[in-house]
Amino acid sequence: MNRFKIVMSGPLPPAIGGMASVLDALKASTLSRRAKLDFFETGKTTPQGRPLWLGVITRLKLMARWWCNLGQFPRPVVHIHTCDGFTFFLDGALLVLSRLRGAPVILHVHGARFDSFLCTLNWPLAKLAHWLAQRCAVVIALSPGWQERLSKHWPGADIRVVSNGVAISRTAHSVASNSSVPRFVFLGNLAHRKGVHVLLKAAALARESWTVDLVGGDGELGATVLAEQEIYQQGLQSRCRLLGPLIDDAKVDLLSSAQGFVLPSLAEGLPMALLEAMAMGLPAVVTAVGAMPEAVRDGIEGLVVPADTAEALAEALDALARQPQLRARMGAAAAQRCQSLYGIERMVDALMLIYAELGIYPS
Protein backbone atom coordinates (compact mmCIF):
# COMPACT_ATOMS: atom_id res chain seq x y z
CA MET A 1 0.00 0.00 0.00
CA ASN A 2 1.41 3.40 -1.04
CA ARG A 3 1.88 5.97 1.69
CA PHE A 4 2.81 9.61 1.55
CA LYS A 5 6.36 10.46 2.56
CA ILE A 6 6.25 13.31 5.06
CA VAL A 7 9.14 15.12 6.76
CA MET A 8 7.60 17.04 9.68
CA SER A 9 9.65 19.55 11.65
CA GLY A 10 9.18 21.38 14.92
CA PRO A 11 10.08 21.23 18.61
CA LEU A 12 9.62 17.66 19.77
CA PRO A 13 8.79 16.38 23.28
CA PRO A 14 10.06 16.54 25.98
CA ALA A 15 9.86 20.22 24.99
CA ILE A 16 6.84 21.87 26.61
CA GLY A 17 4.48 24.09 24.65
CA GLY A 18 1.70 24.15 22.12
CA MET A 19 3.71 23.08 19.07
CA ALA A 20 5.36 20.23 20.95
CA SER A 21 1.93 19.07 22.15
CA VAL A 22 0.58 19.11 18.58
CA LEU A 23 3.53 17.11 17.28
CA ASP A 24 3.22 14.65 20.16
CA ALA A 25 -0.49 14.15 19.42
CA LEU A 26 0.22 13.62 15.71
CA LYS A 27 2.97 11.14 16.52
CA ALA A 28 0.52 9.07 18.59
CA SER A 29 -2.24 9.29 15.96
CA THR A 30 -2.95 7.13 12.92
CA LEU A 31 -0.87 9.52 10.81
CA SER A 32 2.18 7.36 11.46
CA ARG A 33 0.37 4.42 9.86
CA ARG A 34 -1.26 6.36 7.03
CA ALA A 35 1.95 8.14 5.99
CA LYS A 36 5.64 7.40 6.08
CA LEU A 37 6.40 9.99 8.73
CA ASP A 38 9.83 11.34 9.62
CA PHE A 39 9.97 13.79 12.54
CA PHE A 40 12.79 16.33 12.50
CA GLU A 41 13.77 18.21 15.67
CA THR A 42 14.13 21.98 15.25
CA GLY A 43 13.69 22.99 18.88
CA LYS A 44 16.56 24.47 20.83
CA THR A 45 18.96 21.76 22.01
CA THR A 46 21.90 23.89 23.14
CA PRO A 47 22.16 24.96 26.80
CA GLN A 48 21.03 28.35 28.09
CA GLY A 49 23.75 30.98 27.89
CA ARG A 50 25.68 29.15 25.18
CA PRO A 51 28.09 31.29 23.08
CA LEU A 52 26.88 32.63 19.75
CA TRP A 53 29.35 30.55 17.76
CA LEU A 54 27.94 27.34 19.22
CA GLY A 55 24.42 28.36 18.23
CA VAL A 56 25.54 29.15 14.67
CA ILE A 57 27.42 25.87 14.27
CA THR A 58 24.47 23.90 15.68
CA ARG A 59 22.08 25.56 13.22
CA LEU A 60 24.42 24.96 10.25
CA LYS A 61 24.68 21.28 11.19
CA LEU A 62 20.87 21.10 11.44
CA MET A 63 20.53 22.61 7.97
CA ALA A 64 23.06 20.14 6.57
CA ARG A 65 21.11 17.22 8.04
CA TRP A 66 17.92 18.72 6.59
CA TRP A 67 19.46 18.92 3.11
CA CYS A 68 20.64 15.31 3.28
CA ASN A 69 17.30 14.15 4.66
CA LEU A 70 15.53 15.51 1.57
CA GLY A 71 17.81 13.66 -0.83
CA GLN A 72 15.44 10.70 -1.16
CA PHE A 73 13.41 10.24 -4.32
CA PRO A 74 10.65 10.88 -4.96
CA ARG A 75 10.84 13.96 -2.79
CA PRO A 76 8.78 13.89 0.41
CA VAL A 77 6.21 16.47 1.42
CA VAL A 78 7.81 18.89 3.89
CA HIS A 79 5.58 19.98 6.77
CA ILE A 80 7.16 22.78 8.84
CA HIS A 81 5.59 23.86 12.13
CA THR A 82 6.64 27.44 12.89
CA CYS A 83 5.88 30.40 15.14
CA ASP A 84 6.71 34.08 15.40
CA GLY A 85 10.02 35.78 15.99
CA PHE A 86 13.46 34.76 14.82
CA THR A 87 12.24 31.14 14.75
CA PHE A 88 10.11 31.96 11.71
CA PHE A 89 13.11 33.05 9.67
CA LEU A 90 15.17 30.06 10.84
CA ASP A 91 12.34 27.84 9.63
CA GLY A 92 12.27 29.96 6.46
CA ALA A 93 15.81 28.80 5.71
CA LEU A 94 14.60 25.18 5.87
CA LEU A 95 11.73 26.16 3.58
CA VAL A 96 14.16 27.54 0.99
CA LEU A 97 16.37 24.44 1.17
CA SER A 98 13.28 22.28 0.67
CA ARG A 99 12.26 24.17 -2.44
CA LEU A 100 15.81 23.93 -3.81
CA ARG A 101 15.50 20.17 -3.32
CA GLY A 102 12.22 20.21 -5.23
CA ALA A 103 10.05 19.23 -2.24
CA PRO A 104 6.61 20.83 -1.75
CA VAL A 105 6.28 22.67 1.55
CA ILE A 106 3.40 23.04 3.99
CA LEU A 107 3.97 25.86 6.50
CA HIS A 108 1.93 25.33 9.68
CA VAL A 109 1.63 28.62 11.56
CA HIS A 110 1.33 28.62 15.35
CA GLY A 111 1.87 31.41 17.84
CA ALA A 112 -0.50 33.67 19.73
CA ARG A 113 1.10 36.86 18.44
CA PHE A 114 1.98 35.86 14.90
CA ASP A 115 -0.12 38.65 13.39
CA SER A 116 1.46 41.19 15.74
CA PHE A 117 4.88 39.84 14.76
CA LEU A 118 4.11 40.42 11.08
CA CYS A 119 2.87 43.95 11.83
CA THR A 120 6.13 44.87 13.56
CA LEU A 121 8.41 43.76 10.70
CA ASN A 122 10.16 46.44 8.71
CA TRP A 123 9.52 46.60 4.96
CA PRO A 124 12.36 44.25 3.83
CA LEU A 125 11.54 41.61 6.44
CA ALA A 126 7.81 41.85 5.74
CA LYS A 127 8.53 41.33 2.03
CA LEU A 128 10.76 38.37 2.90
CA ALA A 129 8.05 36.81 5.09
CA HIS A 130 5.50 37.24 2.27
CA TRP A 131 7.95 35.79 -0.26
CA LEU A 132 8.48 32.73 1.97
CA ALA A 133 4.73 32.21 2.33
CA GLN A 134 4.31 32.34 -1.43
CA ARG A 135 6.96 29.63 -1.87
CA CYS A 136 4.72 27.22 0.09
CA ALA A 137 2.24 24.86 -1.53
CA VAL A 138 -0.05 25.46 1.45
CA VAL A 139 0.01 27.63 4.57
CA ILE A 140 -2.02 26.21 7.48
CA ALA A 141 -3.87 28.51 9.88
CA LEU A 142 -5.41 27.28 13.14
CA SER A 143 -8.87 28.78 12.65
CA PRO A 144 -10.95 30.88 10.22
CA GLY A 145 -10.06 33.95 12.24
CA TRP A 146 -6.36 33.25 11.89
CA GLN A 147 -6.84 32.49 8.19
CA GLU A 148 -8.32 35.97 7.74
CA ARG A 149 -5.48 37.64 9.65
CA LEU A 150 -2.75 35.86 7.70
CA SER A 151 -4.47 36.55 4.37
CA LYS A 152 -4.20 40.29 4.99
CA HIS A 153 -0.42 39.99 5.28
CA TRP A 154 0.15 37.28 2.69
CA PRO A 155 -2.14 37.88 -0.32
CA GLY A 156 -1.74 35.21 -2.94
CA ALA A 157 -0.69 32.51 -0.49
CA ASP A 158 -2.88 29.39 -0.33
CA ILE A 159 -3.99 29.51 3.31
CA ARG A 160 -6.09 26.63 4.65
CA VAL A 161 -7.65 26.02 8.06
CA VAL A 162 -6.66 22.94 10.05
CA SER A 163 -7.60 23.14 13.72
CA ASN A 164 -5.37 21.62 16.36
CA GLY A 165 -6.43 18.17 17.53
CA VAL A 166 -6.16 16.31 20.81
CA ALA A 167 -6.33 12.65 21.65
CA ILE A 168 -9.49 11.77 23.54
CA SER A 169 -7.64 9.55 25.98
CA ARG A 170 -10.09 9.36 28.85
CA THR A 171 -13.86 9.53 29.14
CA ALA A 172 -15.10 12.99 30.03
CA HIS A 173 -16.19 13.19 33.64
CA SER A 174 -19.07 14.97 35.34
CA VAL A 175 -18.05 18.25 36.94
CA ALA A 176 -21.27 18.67 38.93
CA SER A 177 -19.56 17.42 42.06
CA ASN A 178 -20.86 17.81 45.56
CA SER A 179 -17.62 19.50 46.57
CA SER A 180 -18.35 22.65 48.52
CA VAL A 181 -15.22 24.26 47.06
CA PRO A 182 -14.97 23.79 43.26
CA ARG A 183 -11.46 23.68 41.83
CA PHE A 184 -10.39 25.26 38.54
CA VAL A 185 -7.19 24.55 36.62
CA PHE A 186 -4.99 27.02 34.77
CA LEU A 187 -2.64 25.28 32.33
CA GLY A 188 0.06 27.30 30.58
CA ASN A 189 3.34 29.09 31.06
CA LEU A 190 3.33 31.54 33.95
CA ALA A 191 3.75 34.56 31.72
CA HIS A 192 2.15 37.96 31.27
CA ARG A 193 0.62 36.91 27.93
CA LYS A 194 -1.24 34.06 29.62
CA GLY A 195 -2.95 36.50 31.99
CA VAL A 196 -1.64 35.02 35.23
CA HIS A 197 -1.64 38.48 36.83
CA VAL A 198 -5.30 38.92 35.83
CA LEU A 199 -6.23 35.54 37.29
CA LEU A 200 -4.61 36.38 40.63
CA LYS A 201 -6.46 39.71 40.73
CA ALA A 202 -9.72 37.87 39.98
CA ALA A 203 -9.01 35.43 42.81
CA ALA A 204 -8.65 38.39 45.19
CA LEU A 205 -11.99 39.80 43.96
CA ALA A 206 -13.92 36.51 44.14
CA ARG A 207 -17.08 36.33 46.24
CA GLU A 208 -17.59 32.56 46.03
CA SER A 209 -15.45 29.82 47.52
CA TRP A 210 -13.34 28.27 44.77
CA THR A 211 -9.70 27.40 44.30
CA VAL A 212 -7.40 27.37 41.31
CA ASP A 213 -4.35 25.24 40.53
CA LEU A 214 -1.81 26.99 38.31
CA VAL A 215 0.14 24.47 36.26
CA GLY A 216 3.14 25.58 34.23
CA GLY A 217 6.73 26.70 34.32
CA ASP A 218 8.38 30.06 33.84
CA GLY A 219 7.24 31.55 30.55
CA GLU A 220 9.33 34.57 31.45
CA LEU A 221 12.33 34.94 33.70
CA GLY A 222 11.26 34.93 37.34
CA ALA A 223 7.55 34.53 36.56
CA THR A 224 7.01 31.83 39.19
CA VAL A 225 8.65 33.96 41.88
CA LEU A 226 6.49 36.94 40.93
CA ALA A 227 3.36 34.79 41.10
CA GLU A 228 4.38 33.45 44.51
CA GLN A 229 4.92 36.98 45.78
CA GLU A 230 1.52 38.12 44.48
CA ILE A 231 -0.22 35.16 46.10
CA TYR A 232 1.45 35.94 49.41
CA GLN A 233 0.80 39.69 49.27
CA GLN A 234 -2.89 39.20 48.42
CA GLY A 235 -3.32 36.47 51.05
CA LEU A 236 -4.38 33.91 48.43
CA GLN A 237 -2.48 30.92 49.80
CA SER A 238 -5.68 28.99 50.53
CA ARG A 239 -7.19 29.80 47.12
CA CYS A 240 -4.26 29.51 44.65
CA ARG A 241 -1.67 26.74 44.30
CA LEU A 242 1.41 26.79 42.06
CA LEU A 243 2.08 23.22 40.96
CA GLY A 244 4.85 23.75 38.40
CA PRO A 245 4.87 21.95 35.03
CA LEU A 246 2.91 18.69 34.72
CA ILE A 247 2.92 16.34 31.74
CA ASP A 248 1.35 13.08 30.60
CA ASP A 249 -0.66 11.17 33.25
CA ALA A 250 -0.04 13.73 35.99
CA LYS A 251 -1.64 16.45 33.87
CA VAL A 252 -4.54 14.23 32.82
CA ASP A 253 -5.17 13.16 36.43
CA LEU A 254 -5.32 16.78 37.56
CA LEU A 255 -7.78 17.75 34.81
CA SER A 256 -9.93 14.69 35.46
CA SER A 257 -10.48 15.73 39.08
CA ALA A 258 -11.20 19.41 38.44
CA GLN A 259 -14.51 21.25 38.10
CA GLY A 260 -13.44 23.78 35.47
CA PHE A 261 -10.66 25.30 33.40
CA VAL A 262 -9.52 28.91 33.14
CA LEU A 263 -7.19 30.59 30.63
CA PRO A 264 -7.32 34.42 30.75
CA SER A 265 -4.75 35.00 27.98
CA LEU A 266 -4.08 38.39 26.43
CA ALA A 267 -3.24 36.75 23.07
CA GLU A 268 -3.65 33.18 21.82
CA GLY A 269 -3.66 30.87 18.83
CA LEU A 270 -5.70 27.75 19.50
CA PRO A 271 -4.21 26.51 22.78
CA MET A 272 -3.82 22.77 23.19
CA ALA A 273 -4.38 23.18 26.94
CA LEU A 274 -7.90 24.42 26.27
CA LEU A 275 -8.68 21.52 23.93
CA GLU A 276 -7.30 19.01 26.45
CA ALA A 277 -9.56 20.48 29.14
CA MET A 278 -12.60 20.41 26.85
CA ALA A 279 -11.86 16.78 25.97
CA MET A 280 -12.01 15.99 29.68
CA GLY A 281 -15.45 17.59 29.96
CA LEU A 282 -14.40 20.76 31.75
CA PRO A 283 -16.34 24.00 31.29
CA ALA A 284 -13.89 26.75 30.36
CA VAL A 285 -13.58 30.40 31.25
CA VAL A 286 -11.49 32.05 28.53
CA THR A 287 -10.86 35.47 27.06
CA ALA A 288 -12.05 36.69 23.68
CA VAL A 289 -8.66 36.41 21.97
CA GLY A 290 -7.27 34.26 19.17
CA ALA A 291 -9.36 31.21 18.31
CA MET A 292 -10.58 30.64 21.86
CA PRO A 293 -14.04 32.22 21.34
CA GLU A 294 -14.37 30.05 18.20
CA ALA A 295 -13.72 26.90 20.25
CA VAL A 296 -15.71 27.96 23.34
CA ARG A 297 -19.06 29.54 22.57
CA ASP A 298 -20.09 31.89 25.35
CA GLY A 299 -22.81 30.35 27.48
CA ILE A 300 -22.59 26.93 25.80
CA GLU A 301 -19.19 25.29 26.39
CA GLY A 302 -18.10 27.90 28.90
CA LEU A 303 -17.90 31.62 29.50
CA VAL A 304 -15.98 34.14 27.40
CA VAL A 305 -14.83 37.38 29.03
CA PRO A 306 -12.90 40.44 27.81
CA ALA A 307 -9.13 40.16 28.08
CA ASP A 308 -7.30 41.87 30.94
CA THR A 309 -10.50 42.40 32.96
CA ALA A 310 -10.17 40.87 36.42
CA GLU A 311 -13.70 41.85 37.49
CA ALA A 312 -15.36 40.01 34.58
CA LEU A 313 -13.11 37.00 35.11
CA ALA A 314 -13.99 36.86 38.82
CA GLU A 315 -17.71 37.07 38.04
CA ALA A 316 -17.49 34.23 35.49
CA LEU A 317 -15.58 31.94 37.87
CA ASP A 318 -18.01 32.81 40.68
CA ALA A 319 -20.95 31.92 38.42
CA LEU A 320 -19.56 28.46 37.66
CA ALA A 321 -18.55 27.92 41.27
CA ARG A 322 -22.07 28.42 42.63
CA GLN A 323 -23.92 26.51 39.88
CA PRO A 324 -22.89 22.84 39.66
CA GLN A 325 -25.59 22.06 37.11
CA LEU A 326 -24.32 24.84 34.85
CA ARG A 327 -20.84 23.34 35.11
CA ALA A 328 -22.23 19.94 34.19
CA ARG A 329 -24.14 21.24 31.18
CA MET A 330 -21.25 23.27 29.84
CA GLY A 331 -18.73 20.50 30.53
CA ALA A 332 -20.79 17.97 28.59
CA ALA A 333 -21.13 20.43 25.71
CA ALA A 334 -17.38 21.07 25.76
CA ALA A 335 -16.59 17.36 25.52
CA GLN A 336 -19.03 16.92 22.65
CA ARG A 337 -17.66 19.93 20.74
CA CYS A 338 -14.08 18.77 21.22
CA GLN A 339 -14.94 15.27 20.02
CA SER A 340 -16.71 16.57 16.92
CA LEU A 341 -14.34 19.38 15.92
CA TYR A 342 -10.99 18.99 17.66
CA GLY A 343 -10.20 15.28 17.87
CA ILE A 344 -6.75 14.36 16.62
CA GLU A 345 -8.10 12.02 13.94
CA ARG A 346 -10.12 14.85 12.40
CA MET A 347 -6.90 16.82 12.21
CA VAL A 348 -5.19 13.84 10.55
CA ASP A 349 -8.02 13.52 8.02
CA ALA A 350 -7.68 17.21 7.12
CA LEU A 351 -3.92 16.88 6.68
CA MET A 352 -4.29 13.78 4.52
CA LEU A 353 -6.57 15.69 2.16
CA ILE A 354 -3.88 18.36 1.76
CA TYR A 355 -1.16 15.76 1.23
CA ALA A 356 -3.34 14.10 -1.41
CA GLU A 357 -3.67 17.37 -3.32
CA LEU A 358 0.10 17.61 -3.54
CA GLY A 359 0.03 14.22 -5.26
CA ILE A 360 3.40 12.84 -4.20
CA TYR A 361 3.53 9.12 -3.43
CA PRO A 362 6.43 6.74 -2.82
CA SER A 363 7.56 4.66 -5.74
Mean local confidence (pLDDT), 270-275: 95
Fold classified for 4-165+344-358:
Rossmann fold (3.40.50)
Q: Do you find a cis peptide bond into 51, omega within 30 degrees of 0?
A: no
Please say whether the beta carbons of 5 and 77 come within 8 A. yes
Span 201-239, pLDDT tens digits: 999 999 999 999 999 988 777 889 999 999 999 999 999
Phi-psi group of 262: left, alpha or beta (phi > 0 → left; psi -120 to 50 → alpha; rest → beta): beta
Task: Say what the alpha-carbon torsion angle 159, 160, 164, 165 is, to the nearest 10 degrees.
Answer: -160
Span 16-65, pLDDT tens digits: 788 999 999 999 999 989 999 999 999 877 667 778 888 889 999 999 99
* pLDDT for residue 130 is more than 90: yes
* pLDDT, position 139: 98
Ranges in the chain annotated CATH 3.40.50.2000: 4-165+344-358, 183-341
* pLDDT, position 363: 39
pTM score: 0.89
Span 112-128, pLDDT tens digits: 999 999 999 999 999 99
> Do strands 105-109 and 77-82 pair parallel, antiparallel, or not at all (unpaired)?
parallel
Q: How sure is the predictor about 347, in pLDDT bands with cuts at 50, 70 and 90?
A: very high
Please say whether the beta carbons of 108 and 270 come within 8 A. no
Which of 285, 291, 321 has its CA nearest to residue 305? 285
* pLDDT, position 169: 62
* pLDDT for residue 362 is more than 50: no
Helices (H), 221-296: 223-233, 248-256, 272-279, 292-295
Tally of CB atoms within 10 A around 61: 10
C-alpha distance from residue 207 to each of 14, 175, 298, 314, 315 (Å): 39, 20, 22, 8, 8
C-alpha distance from residue 299 to each of 111, 248, 304, 331 (Å): 27, 30, 8, 11
Span 82-99, pLDDT tens digits: 999 999 999 999 999 999
Mean local confidence (pLDDT), 239-248: 92
* pLDDT, position 73: 82
Please say whether the beta carbons of 174 and 333 come within 8 A. no
Which of 332, 272, 284, 331 has its CA nearest to residue 15? 272
Which CATH homologous superfamily contains domain 183-341?
Glycogen Phosphorylase B; (3.40.50.2000)
* pLDDT for residue 281 is more than 80: yes
Q: How much of the chain, in percent, has pLDDT values that exceed 70?
A: 94
Which of 325, 277, 361 has its CA nearest to residue 1? 361
* pLDDT, position 2: 61
